[in-house]
Amino acid sequence: MRRSVPFRLAQCFFLSFLAIALGPARAQQVPTLRARTNLVLVPTLVESKAGEPVFNLTAKDFAVTDNGVEQKIRLDTETYAQPISIVVLVQVGRSAVREFYKYQGLPTMVEALAGATEHRVAVVEFDSRPRMLQDFTSDPRAVEHGIYSIQPGDDGAAILDSVWYAVDMLQDEPEQNQRVIVLLSETRDKGSRTPMTEVLRKIGQSDVVVYSLAFSPGRGDLFDFSAPIGNSADLLAPVRMAIAALRKNAAAAIPRMTGGQYLRFNSGKQLDSQIGMLANQVHNRYILSFQPSDDKPGMHLLSVKLRQPLEARVLARTSYWATSPAAVE
């Protein structure tokens, strides 16, 4: 059975340095030219009505648009046993203490999520700020100790600051690894200080997939990023819509942006079941990629559809953040 893994937004930097000697005691430094090539990776899950992954699709079966313009895509099939790095990001502030008893099986669930592939797991708790409990490790006993060492926090729920922190952690992981955040939190952010536009930029430029499990869901979780895109479109409209979604339900908005999944749980048994479902998603995604036909800096909206109508659900990332294609320093 062919399996795929989450997307990667690859940003490759090719550096060259020249030094011209002017004499025994001095040298002249030549400015550095940095060429940047952006490859947008779009992890895409296709599920049947029964919730089972749909396999054996090809690149020709998908239509991917970037700001409304269809792109020439490629399907990566060499991702069978890709290593994975996971940050387990657990809210401990506000009313989260009432959820602690539901986490008894969480270490085992995280191991199941990682699967049989090589993996590294870190544990972070957060209230008004994030705190690392366990740095990346392959030792399941260390992960278990990290999870079981969580303590009740203050009156904060700084989801955005904490996701930012976790993205930074994952950026230092081995290049070949998938990067995943498993967020356990309420739905709304409370206390983050990072500007929302910067959060969008950080997430959109990363290759991180966020899976969110909310223990305090609110009404009206659904939102829509779609908007008319064209030459006369308001270029800031996608950013404004994304910020509105973050304010309404940060736990749902962030996974949608990254191509992850937003789920809710009311018991430890349900949490176990939901993470089991996520494990199936993590290891059975298609990886679509393209070079943007328009690399204008800023937030880009993505749409992924099947060309032939199937009774299936398509789950893919909805946006990314483009940077300047080249820079001279």
Band (234; pLDDT cuts 50, 70, 90): low
Q: Can you name the residues that pair with 44 across neighbouring β-strands?
A: 286, 316
For 128-140, what is the mean pLDDT?
97
pTM of the model: 0.81
Question: Residue 43 — very low, low, confident or very high, per pLDDT cuts 50/70/90?
Answer: confident
Q: What is the mean pLDDT of residues 158-171?
A: 97
Confidence band, pLDDT 50/70/90 cuts, at residue 77: low
Q: How confident is residue 37, by pLDDT bands cut at 50, 70 and 90?
A: low
Work out the average pLDDT over 235-240: 79
Q: What integer pLDDT is reported at residue 161 of this predicted model? A: 98
- Which of 145-154, 203-212, 285-294 has the largest mean confidence? 145-154
pLDDT tens profile 82-121? 889 999 999 999 989 999 999 989 999 999 888 888 999 9
Average pLDDT of 314-329? Answer: 74
Strand, helix or coil for residue 266: coil
Looking at residue 133, its pLDDT comes to 97
Distance CA(65)–CA(69), nearest Å, equals: 5
Q: Which residues does 26 contact at the CB level (< 8 Å), separation at least 6?
A: none
Distances from the Cα of 195 to the Cαs of 179, 199, 256, in angstroms?
23, 6, 19
Q: Say if residue 223's pLDDT is above 60.
A: no
DSSP for residue 54: P
Q: What angle do CA 90, 96, 99 make, to 5 degrees?
A: 90
What is the pLDDT at residue 235?
A: 56
Q: Is the pLDDT of residue 191 over 80?
A: yes
Task: Supply the pLDDT for residue 59.
Answer: 94
pLDDT at 246 over 50: yes
Per-chain mean pLDDT for the chain: 82
Report, as an integer, the average pLDDT of 206-231: 62
Q: What is the mean pLDDT of residues 272-280?
A: 86
- Of 12 and 293, which is predicted with more confidence? 293
- Domains, the chain, with CATH or none: 84-282 (3.40.50.410)
The more confident residue out of 310 and 220 is: 310
Q: What local confidence, expressed as pLDDT, does residue 33 receive?
A: 31
Q: What is the mean pLDDT of residues 14-39?
A: 41
pLDDT for 171 equals 93
Other beta carbons within 10 angstroms of residue 268's beta carbon come to 16
User: What's the confidence (pLDDT) of residue 216?
Assistant: 63
pLDDT over 50 (residue 19):
no
According to the per-residue pLDDT averaged within each range, which of 50-59, 192-201, 280-289 is highest?
192-201
- Measured between alpha carbons, how far is residue 149 from residues 57, 95, 98 in Å? 44, 17, 15
**Is the pLDDT assigned to residue 167 strictly greater than 60?**
yes
